[in-house]
Amino acid sequence: AQSVAQPEDQVNVAEGNPLTVKCTYSVSGNPYLFWYVQYPNRGLQFLLKYITGDNLVKGSYGFEAEFNKSQTSFHLKKPSALVSDSALYFCAAGVGGFKTIFGAGTRLFVKA
Amino acid sequence: EAQVTQNPRYLITVTGKKLTVTCSQNMNHEYMSWYRQDPGLGLRQIYYSMNVEVTDKGDVPEGYKVSRKEKRNFPLILESPSPNQTSLYFCASRGRFSAGNTGELFFGEGSRLTVL
């Protein structure tokens, strides 16, 4: 079965430190990969995507993600975390032309 | 402003009382979908629609119905709600995959449903 895994329920980081939110995928073919962020009482917002090309993709709010085909990973990163980055982050894979599979989500806490 | 609008945002109902959650998008998107979000389970797809009058089941369709009579609207219908349908529901849309559109979803703000 195709799936997206986010191995950490929660990530804690101090403000100003780098952050990483992990994601691995198990899908057939070459998936489209996405990261979305969800703030309290809001819908999901698109952050960035990998389709093809450069393995390091840059997105909104200073976030970037690194695609690693051999490890089937697509980790989300930011060089310097902000308290305002605290939110729920979802990794997702687009497969089959119309279906999007989501991970369970990782809650990020950035402490001042 | 490009947006996906869901209503109601919050609803408390009782078992068996039919309800409809509306969803409307103003981006002329072909594809629309409904998800439910439950703690520890992420987002699970309920139904999706590739275009007007074309709908199909997602991963958790039991207890739900949808219709797509107009391109902009995709209502979710719970004919006889049960407590296990208490959840946070999201509607989402996107355009057709093309050179200029690679599939990111646009989400509504969510509808929190409680079935007593």
Express each pLDDT in A59-93 by its tens digit: 999 999 999 999 999 999 999 999 999 999 999 99
For residue B99, what pLDDT is reported?
54
Give the list of residues 6+ apart from residue A4 with CB closer than 8 angstroms, or none. Answer: A23, A24, A25, A26, A27, A91, A92, A93, A101, A102, A103
Q: Which two tokens stand for residue B5?
A: 């609008």
Judged against a pLDDT cut of 80, whether residue A105 lies above it is answered with yes
| Cα distance between residue A3 and residue B106, in whole Å | 21
- Kindly report, residue by residue over A18-74, the tens digit of the pLDDT: 999 999 999 888 888 999 999 988 899 999 999 888 899 999 999 999 999 999 999
Say yes or no: B34 contacts chain A, CB-CB below 8 A.
Answer: no
| Nearest CA distance, B110 vs chain A (angstrom) | 6
Does the beta-carbon distance from B48 to A105 stay under 8 Å? no
Is A46 within 8 Å of B2 (Cβ atoms)?
no
| Average pLDDT of span B60-87 | 97
Say yes or no: B4 contacts chain A, CB-CB below 8 A.
Answer: yes
- Kindly report, residue by residue over B40-49, the tens digit of the pLDDT: 888 999 999 9
Does the beta-carbon distance from B40 to A9 stay under 8 Å? yes
Cα dihedral A2, B81, B92, B51, rounded to 10, equals 90
For residue B103, what pLDDT is reported?
76
Neighbours of A85 (CB within 10 A): 19
Residue B8 preceded by cis peptide, ω within 30: yes
User: Which percentage of chain B shows pLDDT scores above 70?
Assistant: 95
For residue B46, what pLDDT is reported?
96
Q: Which two tokens stand for residue A20?
A: 């990483």
Per CB-CB distance under 8 Å, the chain A contacts of B103 are 32, 34, 49, 94, 100
Measured CA distances, B63 to A5, A52, B8, B32 (Å): 27, 38, 19, 19
Of B40, B50, B103, the CB nearest to A94: B103
For residue A97, what pLDDT is reported?
65
Per CB-CB distance under 8 Å, the chain B contacts of A34 are 103-105
For residue A30, what pLDDT is reported?
80
- DSSP summary character for residue B15: T
| Cα distance between residue B100 and residue B27, in whole Å | 15
Interface of B with A in 49-108 (CB under 8 A): 50, 90, 92, 97, 102-108
| Nearest CA distance, B80 vs chain A (angstrom) | 26
Say yes or no: A107 contacts chain B, CB-CB below 8 A.
Answer: no
For residue B97, what pLDDT is reported?
65
For residue B4, what pLDDT is reported?
96
For residue A41, what pLDDT is reported?
84
Query: Does residue A97 or residue B62 have the better pLDDT?
Result: B62
For residue B49, what pLDDT is reported?
94
| Nearest CA distance, A42 vs chain B (angstrom) | 5
Q: Which two tokens stand for residue B52?
A: 């007007």
